[in-house]
Amino acid sequence: MKRVSGGAKTRAWAEIDLGALVRNSRAIRARAGGRRLIAVVKADAYGHGAVPVARALSADGCDAFAVISLDEALELRDAGIREPILILGELLAPDEAHEALVRELSPVVGRLETLDWLDRAAARVGRAAGFHLKLDTGMGRLGLAPEDLPAFLERLRASRALRLDGVMSHLAEADDLDAPTTERQRALFSQLVRRLREAGFAPDWVHLDNSAGIARGSAPGTDAVRPGIWLWGAEPLLAGEHRLEPVMSLFARVCHAKTVRAGTRIGYGGDFVARETTRILTLAIGYADGLPRAVGGKIDVGFRGRRVPLVGRVSCDLAAAAVPGSEPIDPGDEVLIFGRRGELAIPVEEVATAAGTISYEILARIGKRVPRIAT
């Protein structure tokens, strides 16, 4: 991640406030009652930059990190991150089990086949293979079915080379306070953890709650949490006011400004028609950069400390905004797409709602030609 200001030649850029990130992590830890923090930094930390994010959180005492794949985990190890790194997605082949063990990574296991791979890798390397067991309590994707737990534990007992370091599950509807699923999942998870302990296993990590689970109050009997979206300051619940500080602020330059008369059509399809003499700003950002095509004509952007409407269709490389008045506007002037600049804040949720999606997707899809700049 670059540590420079957005230069005049930068068409669009994202500023990443690492100070806000650290403050958010502290607030989340406090909300979680001091439980250990497993920061979920998959998908390049949801578009924020996994390595600089992990380094900032590591320096502040983050307990562990979680990613989706072996490649993502290796990126963090190669960058000098020494904390435990969980691989949330199932390993895909025996050689991945070997690599994970050699690099001291923590696979999340939800099937017997992966357990066999780890057992063979441990014999080959000559040391025990630690892992976290994932239980399927209601998500229905990855994870061991509750009825398969006895056979899994029997296989685990049969090996001296396998070590159960943690047990986890994943909440399916924690963001919806009206859904009964979360409490059912928590009850089942608690029951299965109790069965594990009665069988003689003592996992050091017990974790269930994601950002929404933490916001609604962490599950009893757990000692760690896995925040993702809340770290970036976005709202984790469907109906709530739990936003923290925005970590990413997305900006674009004005690449052209013109005054148009009433009746002038703007952009593909002429969806926007000026009702009066209007200043049109053409912005150097489009859907190739991660600004969804669907938000054209539906959101405000920030210009000189105030909101102005985005108008017309968002195209591959360009978008347009309408500004009242006749004030001088220069190519290169800055426009806030979402985030914060001074006193003006445009929550990423506004963009997500207009696009018919969630803030996770907006953040994670900011394109690679948009440089991330640490501030």
Q: Which residue has the higher pLDDT, 242 or 173?
A: 173
Helix (H, G, I), strand (E, B) or coil at 83: coil
**Do the beta carbons of residue 14 and residue 372 sit within 8 Å?**
yes
Which CA distances in Å does 144 have to 59, 128, 132, 171, 214? Answer: 34, 21, 11, 14, 23
Q: What is the pLDDT of residue 8?
A: 59
Q: Residue 6 — pLDDT band, cuts 50, 70, 90? A: low
Instruction: Tell me how far the alpha carbon of residue 307 is from its chain's centroid.
Output: 27
> What is the average pLDDT score of the chain?
95
Active-site residue flag, 2: no
Q: Residue 155 — pLDDT band, cuts 50, 70, 90? A: very high
Q: What is the pLDDT of residue 263?
A: 94
Q: Residue 3 — pLDDT band, cuts 50, 70, 90? A: very low
Which CA distances in Å does 58 have to 63, 85, 208, 246, 318? Answer: 8, 12, 21, 19, 38
Spot the catalytic one: 258, 268, 360, 368: 268
Domain boundaries, given as residue ranges, for the chain:
18-232, 248-374
Q: Largest alpha-carbon pair distance within the chain?
A: 80
pLDDT at 361 over 60: yes
Q: Does domain 18-232 have CATH number 3.20.20.10?
A: yes
Active-site residue flag, 368: no
**Do the beta carbons of residue 193 and residue 221 sit within 8 Å?**
yes
pLDDT at 290 over 50: yes
pLDDT at 112 over 90: yes
Q: What is the pLDDT of residues 7-47, one digit of tens each?
A: 657 999 999 999 999 999 999 999 999 999 999 999 999 99
Q: Does domain 248-374 have CATH number 2.60.40.10?
A: no
Spot the catalytic one: 42, 46, 287, 360: 42
Q: What is the pTM of this model?
A: 0.94
Overall average pLDDT of the 327-339 stretch: 93
Q: What is the pLDDT of residues 113-124, one digit of tens each?
A: 999 999 999 999
Any idea which of 122-131, 173-182, 234-243 has the lowest mean pLDDT? 234-243
